[in-house]
Chains A and B, each alone.
Chain A
Amino acid sequence: MAFHLLQRDREGAGRLAETLSDALETIHHCVQCNNFSETEICDLCATGERDPRLLCVIETPADLLMMELTRAYQGLYFVLMGRLSPLEGIGPHEIGIQKLLERAGDGVTEEVILATNFTAEGEATAHAVGELLRQRGLKVTRIARGVPVGGELEYVDSGTLAQALLERRPASP
């Protein structure tokens, strides 16, 4: 992208460089949720209207936006800014796990909801984080997975269907 801009659009390249350098100077991590923020505590954490007993752990800022779109969650968040990726050498120190343990240990948080991806790496992250939080006496839950809303079994992939079968629950009466 950089080469393309330098060749075709030097003015645009200049603007991009300026924007990036501004962002580097003004954007930090929120001290509470670890998301990008221009202020010490981001707007979402600062509202005071969210339920502070619930903490939802996600991998990226984009995941936080998706969770907010559900309008089904009233608690707070913690953004790991990554996931454990053992084969790439990304371990607990490379992502925000230590920061999460401090955040969840604030004495107010009661339940931590693990909403990392359902990939092998996201699952490994959920397992490791879950263990560490349970050791600290917190209630830990994992978001459920299965057939999508409006999903017809005929069109669901076999892996999802197999997992939905394994994780079946009592039918509501």
Chain B
Amino acid sequence: MSFDPARVAMEPAFVLHSTPWRETSLIVECFTPHCGRVALVAKGVRRPRSALRGLMQPFQPLLVDWFGQGELRTLKTAEWQGGLPQLSGKALLCGFYLNELLMRLLGRDDPHEALFGIYAQALARLAAAEPLEPVLRAFEVSLLQELGYAPPLEREADSGAPIDPQAQYLFELDRGALRVVVPGGNAVQFLGKTLLDMAQSRYDDPVTLSQSKQLMRLLLGHHLGHQDLHTRRIFQELPLL
């Protein structure tokens, strides 16, 4: 039986964001493995006694049924799947960051099954109170790779030669890593080891941690365009109070 996107049942899903719709409903942006990001109208869920009211929260694994065509489908039912402790504290703020990245970079109805698994794994790591930065970096790298935006991290641009962990590299957004031949210059440089570590999701080296943050900011910034992420601004504002 083929997959019918107009009538979907028991599809795993995470709520990315929801906004009120009319008097008692919500428009829920969900991330699913087989349909990617979909917008569902959840009718009547803002009524006090709605059984689905408490379920339409981010960071909880759900199974959802929906029907309809076009940009806005109708949520039929949702079931709590469990197995993931609720995010709290800083990890919760990081969860919002992941969701904003998906909302901004993932188009609607563009399935990325592997990315769904990567996202679920990132949430599980956040819920397990793992150090936050490595989880965020690994997710950012995988996200760009899955969307086809990531330049290769293990080979030099143009020549295709393997990255030398000891050498310094410049990173050109459309091409990739270029070995620094003449030292100096204004452009930000990255150690070859940083790029190799990122390709392997290894973030135990503090140099890798700080350089990868810089590099991902550069790469993400390129794809996000002029409008910076709300979550990033809010993270910066909070400690300043």
Residues of A within 8 A of B (CB): 84, 86-89, 91-93, 97-98, 101, 119-120, 123-124, 127-128, 131-132, 157-160, 162-163, 166
- Residues of chain A with a CB closer than 8 A to B92's CB: 120, 123-124, 127
**Contact (Cβ within 8 A) A120 B233:** no
A87-B230, A87-B231, A159-B54 given; A120·B237 CB < 8 A: no
- Shortest Cβ distance from B215 into chain A, in angstroms? 24
CA of A84 to CA of B237 in the docked complex: distance in angstroms? Answer: 12
- Shortest Cβ distance from A2 into chain B, in angstroms? 16
CA of A152 to CA of B231 in the docked complex: distance in angstroms? Answer: 39
**Contact (Cβ within 8 A) B241 A86:** no
Q: Which residue of A lies closest to B81 (CB)?
A: A158
CA of A162 to CA of B55 in the docked complex: distance in angstroms? Answer: 13
- Shortest Cβ distance from B197 into chain A, in angstroms? 29
**Contact (Cβ within 8 A) A128 B96:** no
CA of A123 to CA of B92 in the docked complex: distance in angstroms? Answer: 8
Q: Which residue of A lies closest to B89 (CB)?
A: A127
What 1/0 flags go to B97-131 for Cβ under 8 Å of A?
10110010000000000000000000000000000
Band of interface residues on B: 20 to 34
Residues of B within 8 A of A (CB): 16-17, 51, 54-55, 57-60, 80, 82, 85-90, 92-93, 95-97, 99-100, 103, 230-231, 233-234, 237-238, 241
**Contact (Cβ within 8 A) B90 A127:** yes
**Contact (Cβ within 8 A) B93 A162:** no
Q: 23 A-B contacts, Cβ less than 8 Å apart? A: A86-B93, A86-B230, A86-B234, A87-B99, A87-B100, A87-B231, A89-B233, A89-B234, A123-B86, A123-B88, A123-B92, A124-B96, A127-B89, A127-B90, A127-B92, A132-B238, A132-B241, A157-B55, A159-B55, A159-B57, A159-B60, A159-B82, A166-B85
CA of A86 to CA of B98 in the docked complex: distance in angstroms? Answer: 11
CA of A91 to CA of B229 in the docked complex: distance in angstroms? Answer: 12
- Shortest Cβ distance from A143 into chain B, in angstroms? 15
Q: Which residue of B lies closest to A160 (CB)?
A: B54
- Residues of chain B with a CB closer than 8 A to A87's CB: 16-17, 96, 99-100, 103, 230-231
- Residues of chain B with a CB closer than 8 A to A101's CB: 241
- Interchain CB contact (< 8 A) of B51 among A84, A131, A157: A157
- Residues of chain A with a CB closer than 8 A to B96's CB: 86-87, 120, 124
- Residues of chain A with a CB closer than 8 A to B57's CB: 119-120, 159
A120-B59, A127-B88 given; A91·B234 CB < 8 A: yes
CA of A97 to CA of B238 in the docked complex: distance in angstroms? Answer: 10
CA of A101 to CA of B238 in the docked complex: distance in angstroms? Answer: 12
Most buried by B among A128, A131, A160, A163: A128
A86-B100, A120-B59, A158-B80 given; A128·B238 CB < 8 A: yes
- Shortest Cβ distance from A147 into chain B, in angstroms? 13
**Contact (Cβ within 8 A) A120 B58:** yes
A127-B90, A127-B92, A158-B82 given; A92·B237 CB < 8 A: yes
